[in-house]
Amino acid sequence: GSWTPESTRATLALQCLLSLCAWALMRTLPALTIALLAAFVHRCCLRMADPFGDVAGLPIDEARAALFTGGPNGSAFPAALVGVFESNRRLRGATLLFTEEVVGSECVGVAPNGDLLMLDRNGFVFRATPQQRKGGALAYELSKER
């Protein structure tokens, strides 16, 4: 149990060695963790969705890839919307009704007598009864149902 210069040097050398090991571990541990995580994620990305979880995805050959949309043998991108696929532009000429009175109406029902029944975003039911035409446009009388 006595103190000697040799024991002090040995203790300092051991402390330096432990500090060096700790420094090396602190430098390599994050990189090692990232590498292991990347390997795990890469394996997960090769798996297919259930129920095909155990089947690995295969590369797509060039002949099939050429058939994809925008490919040399595929359909145009964006697709040409003609005929029955053409955009419906009829609503662009429609008249907006009750824009400040009925807010957020997503459901509109038409009664046999021509009344419009609307449910707004707050849960209130509105009834619009057709009135006489004013200047060619159909007018409605709006009432809140109880």
Token pair for residue 101? 């009175």
Which amino acid, residue 108?
Answer: V
Q: Determine the pLDDT at residue 78.
A: 80
- Please write the tens of the pLDDT for every residue from 64-97: 999 998 888 988 888 778 888 888 888 888 878 8
With a cut of 50, list the residues of the chain below it in pLDDT. none
pTM for this model (two decimals) = 0.39
Three-class DSSP labels, the chain: CCCCHHHHHHHHHHHHHHHHHHHHHHHHHHHHHHHHHHHHHHHHHHECCCCCCCCECCCCCHHHHCCCCCCCCCCCCCCCCCHHHCCCCHHHHCCCCCCCCCCCCCEEEECCCCCEEEECCCCCEEEEEECCCECCECCEEEEECC
CA-closest candidate to residue 98, choices 131, 128, 134: 128
